[in-house]
Structure 1
Amino acid sequence: MVAFKGIWTKDFWRAVSGEYLATLIFVLLGLGSTINWAAGQEKPPPADLVLISLCFGLSIATMVQCFGHISGGHINPAVTAAMVVTRKLSLAKAVFYVVAQCLGAITGAGILYIVTPAAVRGSLGVTTVNSDISLGHGLLVELLITFELVFTVFATCDPKRTDLGGSAGLAIGFAVAIGHLFAIPYTGASMNPARSFGPAMVTLNFESHWVYWVGPILGGILAAGLYEYLYCPDPEVKERLKHVFKKDTSGKYREVESDDVAVKPGSIHTIDLEKQEKKDPFHDSMGEVLSSV
């Protein structure tokens, strides 16, 4: 129940609604670029991969810039899962985020379905694995491109770095565009379970849909874990791993430090869970919360 204490606040619901709106706009604009308006012609031209890639990339860059300070600008269940495994977001709050992202994606895809003529609607941008490759290969492609995306998120929004310049949102948008330029012929380049879930729900086409949840989430978790715990570990987190938490007779959790040279070995420090809970990540800067697709 402690994990759910932070959700009954105005700031939290502002953040959740921000994820909903950002995902709605992203999915609406991104899927709109997949509509082939020449579909009614005798020999319609193939889909413009560059147009689609740039639209998805620039859309996510814009949404991250707009909503990064409001919700962290996840706009992607894979990014939210990455935040959970690196302890930047509680599991309880992550559940609300993912639900908001999925509802936003359904709404965005639904709006596009309504405003687009049936003759050119096509598959409405539903992602499917190329019939020339296996589902396992499709899963691997989704894992790799989401790994590239989430690693970019963590690297460009790392508050420990002093060499960063330019726009983190634009770098994340480029990561999305690169993933699309490479993977559209393979899997449609989802990189985002909500992006795939929205049009699949509207068209009721769930062919191989599990690939677009398992692949991106595994890729995001792997990228986050490698960045946070192997390549650029936080010294403070490393110190916390040395601590052992025990409950005393009064029921309060206490922190026993044994390897801290600044404190006498065996000394005990009381942890105020109330103060810990008040440190809401949504009040932090975009670099601390981390933003992404």
Structure 2
Amino acid sequence: MGNFKETLGVSELKAKNNNIWKALLAEFIGNVLLNLFGCGAVVNYKGDVAGTVLISLTFGLTIFVVVQSLGHVSGAHINPAVTCGMLATGNIKIIKGILYIIVQCLGALAGSGILKALIPEELQESGIGVTMVSSTLKLTPIQGLGVEFFLGFILVLTVCGVCDPNRPEAKAAAGLAIGLAVAVGHLVGVQLTGSSMNPARSFGAGVIANVWTDHWIYWVGPILGGISAALLYKHAFAAPSLGPLKIIERYTTVVTDEKELRRLDAKMDENMP
């Protein structure tokens, strides 16, 4: 029974130093901002290249800002696909993961609701960011599922790579790398499936617009892609554990080498005529 509670994460919620409510609030706010600003860029989208770039950069930069601002609070999943990937690899407990997904969906719903309230009705004809498989390009639902699978895959693979505890040097660039992964996914996927990458983002826009065409794709695709990427990274690509002493040694060696190079440069300058 104790092991079962540990797996669920009951003790984690009962801990005195538990900051679960701060983490849930961070996930909520992150998704509010994502749907407000990201879906805001979709408004009045005409299907042109400039619009695709605008949408891609807006979603990518929004994620970059959110990860940099809130990553220390909740890990800045801001996406059920990321949370499911972390659940599959044991990086987050079950109860906490479920709570994350709930507040992510509520945050996305609130963000899309705010967006609808702030823009004129004539600009809402595009559905304020609703994701749908392209009928113009004649994609089938299975093709749309495949697109969303790989969009979730590249995102979670990036998250795993930059958040690997044995790669501390990658942590500084985490927000930028994750934001770029989101931007890349949108550059490719906007005209194919609307490039959800994020079930909560599609849920929020879908509820506000009351459009549910092929909505299952935007849950199954990114989540399966995210779980696959997380498991692949954990079992095939994870950096080897160096231990704290090895990490210190690595950076001490780098600093020592830099000092030696500066000393040699100064000596060469002195010997030059």
Give TM-score scaled by structure 2 length: 0.80
What is the match of residue 86 of structure 1?
A: 89
Letter in 2 for 1:27: N
| C-alpha distance in 2 between matches for 1:169 and 1:186 | 26
Is the contact made by 1:7 and 1:13 (CA closer than 8 Å) also made in structure 2?
Answer: no
Supply the distance in 1 between the matched residues of 2:170 and 2:67 (Cα, whole angstroms).
17
Percentage of matched positions with identical amino acids: 44
Alignment of 1:1-293 (within 5 A): 1-2=5-6, 3-8=9-14, 11-36=19-44, 46=48, 48-122=51-125, 123-131=127-135, 132-161=138-167, 164=170, 166-232=172-238
Give the AA of the match of 1:92: I
> Secondary structure, in 3 states, of the residue corresponding to 2:170?
coil
Distance in 2 (alpha carbons) for counterparts of 1:54 and 1:197: 21
Deviations 1:79-115 (A, max 9, x none): 0000101101011110000000000000000000111
User: Could you tell me how far apart the structure 2 residues matched to 1:114 and 1:107 are?
Assistant: 11
Shift of 1:162: 5.4
Q: Which moved more, 1:115-124 or 1:211-220?
A: 115-124
**Could you tell me whether the CA contact under 8 Å between 2:166 and 2:241 is conserved in 1?**
no
Q: CA deviation at 1:7?
A: 2.2
* Residue 116 to residue 162, structure 1, CA distance change in 2 (3 Å): closer
Cα distance in 1, alignment partners of residues 224 and 239 from structure 2: 20
* CA shift in 2, pair 1:142/1:161, >3 Å: same
Larger helix proportion of the pair = 2
* In structure 2, distance between residues paired with 1:19 and 1:162: 24
1: distance between equivalents of 2:240 and 2:21?
A: 29
Return 5+ residue gaps in structure 1 as ranges.
38-43, 237-293
What residue ranges of structure 2 are gaps of 5+ in the alignment? 243-273
The AA in structure 2 aligned to 1:148 is I
Paired residues, what number? 230
What secondary structure, in the 3-state scheme, does the structure 2 residue paired with 1:209 have? Answer: coil
For residues 102 and 45 of structure 1, the distance between their equivalents in structure 2, rounded to whole angstroms, comes to 27
